[in-house]
Amino acid sequence: MDALVIGGGPAGLMAAEELARAGRRTVICEAKPSVGRKLLMAGKSGLNITKDEAPEPFLARYAEAADWLAPMIDSFGPREVQDWCRALGQPVFTGSSGRVFPQAMKASPLLRAWLARLAGLGVEIRTRWRWEGFGAGFRFATPEGGIELAPQVAVLALGGASWSRLGSDGAWAPWLASKGVEIAPFRPANMGFRIDWTPHMARHFGTPVKGVALLVGERRERGEFVLSERGLEGGGIYAVSRALREGAGLALDLLPDLSEEEVAARLARGKPGESLANRLRKLGLSPALVALVQEFARPLPAGAALACRLKELPVPLAGPRPLDEAISTAGGIARAALTEDLELRALPGVFACGEMLDWEAPTGGYLLTGCLATGRHAGRAAARVTGPARPR
């Protein structure tokens, strides 16, 4: 082979495509029995491939990594991702929130078309080849036993440290660190948060909560989430998960389309002797929201004080869910350890991309776009290398 790509997720597949288009004989080694497993899982409820958004607010979602990723995303951003899908025979549509989906919704038709194109380019995929670190070259455990490969160039696309059952376990971090590569500590990103519920909440587990605003510091975010036995999870929580992970408090505006004065006036119109639960339901609160009020607002205030509480209901969190349950991870290969081409300074001829890099972004198309863009960038840069990869 000329080029080795380790990891068969979106970033790795994109890097392999660029290498093959440049005429490199390219092999993908994937630890699992098939490639794209996390992509397929993410697409079960609708594959959100990108966000149809202007460049400036789109890039802002990558926070402090925005200037680092800007050249890559400017070159392969929301418009290019959509064109790429169409070129694979997968038309797309944009939802009311600006999120972009394939018309087929699921990831499997897109992945099948992509793999067919890679096969046409001569890319070889070896599954159940698990990278186990460095020897004289790159050492693998395979169905045929231990094998070492010494390609001219290599691209690492092993994912972060979440969803280990799908292949992203972060096992690579100490191997790279032993070669002098700086690794930022892993932290969960786009994750749920634990709540120590009282028993009366059990009947509401699995219930989606809609039509509320999440209040985190000065930030106000409309979004849905789910009440689970473990706490809160879902897109609305993921959107503010970084701030919550870093210590911000969470409160809910249960009636975001009404002012506090309007809520107080409606509460005052209740009939004498009417239960508080009935008054809350007449305000339009679902049974799950009524239960949240009873869970977090006791002792229940009355009148204007209750209206104030409904507009800012504090939610005591007991910390984030474990790293392996997170949708993605923060941390990974530090920016300082990489050249502008995403080549490892300590390992010339070895590149990295995707979630291995130290950046994070919310769900909503930003994660997948970032993985595709960095994979494309690393693959194109690796294709320009003429000397051998040197993992020693």
User: How confident is the model over 196-226, as pLDDT tens digits?
Assistant: 999 999 999 999 999 999 999 999 999 999 9
Q: Residues 242, 118: one domain?
A: no
Domain final residue, candidates 315, 339, 361: 315
Q: Residues 173, 232: one domain?
A: no
How many domains does the structure of the chain reveal? 2
How much is the pTM?
0.93
Q: Residues 10, 99: one domain?
A: yes
User: How confident is the model over 44-74, as pLDDT tens digits?
Assistant: 888 999 999 999 999 999 999 999 999 999 9
| Per-residue confidence band for 390, with pLDDT thresholds at 50, 70 and 90 | low
User: Range of 96's domain?
Assistant: 3-188+327-383
Cα–Cα distance, 79 to 85 (Å, whole number): 10
Q: Residues 61, 173: one domain?
A: yes
Q: Residues 244, 262: one domain?
A: yes
Element of type H or E holding 141? strand 138-142
Q: Residues 86, 124: one domain?
A: yes
More confident site: 269 or 320: 320
Query: Looking at this protein, which amino acid is placed at residue 160?
Result: G
User: How confident is the model over 360-379, as pLDDT tens digits?
Assistant: 999 999 999 999 999 999 99
Q: What is the CATH number of the domain that holds 7?
A: 3.50.50.60
Is the CA virtual torsion 130, 85, 87, 74 positive or negative? negative
Domain final residue, candidates 285, 315, 345: 315
Cis peptide before 299 (omega within 30 of 0): yes
Span 265-286, mean pLDDT? Answer: 86
Q: Residues 45, 171: one domain?
A: yes
Q: Residues 125, 19: one domain?
A: yes
Q: Residues 306, 378: one domain?
A: no
Q: Residues 91, 66: one domain?
A: yes
Q: Residues 9, 22: one domain?
A: yes
Q: Residues 334, 270: one domain?
A: no
Span 33-41, mean pLDDT? Answer: 94
**Residues 86, 92, 95: CA angle, nearest 5 degrees:** 160
Domain final residue, candidates 270, 293, 315: 315
Q: Is residue 389 part of a domain?
A: no
Share of the chain above pLDDT 70, in %: 98
Give the alpha-carbon dihedral of 185, 332, 178, 129, to 10 degrees: 130
Q: Is residue 321 part of a domain?
A: no
- Work out whether strand 26-30 and strand 3-6 pair parallel, antiparallel, or are unpaired: parallel
| Per-residue confidence band for 276, with pLDDT thresholds at 50, 70 and 90 | confident
Q: Please tell me the predicted confidence (pLDDT) of residue 279.
A: 85
